[in-house]
Amino acid sequence: MRYQEKRQHARLARNEKAYIRLLFRDGQQLETQTDDISAGGFRAQVPVALDQGAILHVVIEAGEPKIHFLLVAELRWCRPEGEGFAVGFELVDARDSDYEVWQRFAISED
């Protein structure tokens, strides 16, 4: 069976610092880096399995000079990889988030 590409946005290989705050786990926070980003989401590595469908607050520190993006994301998939888990997030256009600013940033080549 061939893998069918379902992405709506082009991916850029960019390692950016990301802080993932789990809404349903007493504010627990994971620090990680993105593997790639797009206007609509990102891929990262985490040390623990996360629940598919979970809605999470994410802060991504990116660019030079550093910009902090406050985002809301849905965990679309989680699978074992290396010593942890690879995860894929789809961003949600949430009120008071930096969704629109992120979209412009993610498509820039800088």
Q: What ranges do the domains of the chain cover?
A: 17-99
Query: Prior bond to 80 cis, omega within 30?
Result: no
- Phi, psi dihedrals of residue 63, rounded to the nearest 5°: 80, 175
What pLDDT, in 10s, does the model give residues 45-98?
A: 999 899 999 998 888 888 888 888 999 999 999 999 999 999 999 999 999 999
Identify the CATH homologous superfamily for domain 17-99: predicted glycosyltransferase like domains (2.40.10.220)
Q: What is the pTM of this model?
A: 0.78
Give CA–CA dist 73/89, Å, rounded: 6
- Give the model's pLDDT for residue 31: 83
